[in-house]
Amino acid sequence: METTKSTGKYWLYFVISLIVLVIFCLFAPKFFWVVLPFNFTYFAKGMDLL
């Protein structure tokens, strides 16, 4: 029997990290890559790939 996991909090984290990524791109473009691992990780967790 398969159990379904709730991924709502990961989608929330992804949206927050996406907003932070856009802010970094606007105000500190040299350091936008610092947010990328969080953005990709929470997207993958939201899609239930990890």
Three-state helix/strand/coil letters over 10-42: HHHHHHHHHHHHHHHHHHCHHHHHHCHHHHHHH
Q: What is the pLDDT of residue 12?
A: 96
Q: What is the pLDDT of residue 32?
A: 86
What is the token pair recorded at 41?
């990780």
What is the token pair recorded at 44?
């993958």
Residue 29 CA neighbour count, 13 Å, CB half: 1
Q: What is the pLDDT of residues 4-25, one digit of tens each?
A: 778 899 999 999 999 999 999 9
The model's pTM is 0.84
Confidence of residue 2 (pLDDT cuts 50, 70, 90): low
Q: What is the pLDDT of residues 29-38, one digit of tens each?
A: 999 899 999 9
